[in-house]
A = this chain, B = another copy of it.
């Protein structure tokens, strides 16, 4: 009843993990492009079709923990203290995410990704999906209603902040600056009913 995880799901998870671990190890050892899907499958002792039943593409083998990213972001919106303003909450969360991925322990994987165009491209297209769900989370917050365009725009800007800060020489400083810009942008985003220009009576 509680969490009756049966043998079946446990085995499935184990297989998935074994594939991911094996793949990452091989990629780090020999380089991403130098390792074929068939190599990974053989080393993990599974069939190629099994591998693809767990992972949608070769690139996905590297981004195992990536729904985490999405969850962290949306939770920063939906789970923040009542009346806490949106942008600072996102700032904190993105800061934590950037620090997490610029940490020394994550360096080998980062180098792996940066070294392969295919992986970089894949990552960017993931970010777009993340931006969409972030926009949805913002849209779902009754406290702040600024209109669809404003929500989606801010969501994109936040994702940009993550990706730009990561590449900067001083990620923390860059992130501060970008979020100052985002704060200003959010401040002037208009509410749905406000269809007038900038003029007042």
Question: Which residue numbers of A lie inside 8 Å of B, CB to CB?
Answer: 121, 124-125, 128, 147-150, 152-154, 156-157, 160-161, 164, 168, 173-174, 177-178, 180-190, 198
**A184 to B147 CA separation, bound complex (whole angstroms):** 18
Report the minimal beta-carbon distance from A146 to chain B, rounded to whole angstroms: 10
Please determine whether A164 and B152 come into contact, CB atoms closer than 8 angstroms. Answer: yes
A153: contacting residue among B147, B150, B178, B188, CB under 8 A = B178
Residue of B nearest to A147 (CB): B177
Please determine whether A181 and B188 come into contact, CB atoms closer than 8 angstroms. Answer: yes
Most chain B C-beta atoms within 10 Å of own C-beta, residue among A147, A161, A180: A180
A184: contacting residue among B174, B178, B184, CB under 8 A = B184
Most chain B C-beta atoms within 10 Å of own C-beta, residue among A150, A160, A198: A160
**A187 to B149 CA separation, bound complex (whole angstroms):** 21
Please determine whether B160 and A164 come into contact, CB atoms closer than 8 angstroms. Answer: no
Say whether, besides A185-B185, A190-B177, A156 and B164 are in contact (CB < 8 Å): yes
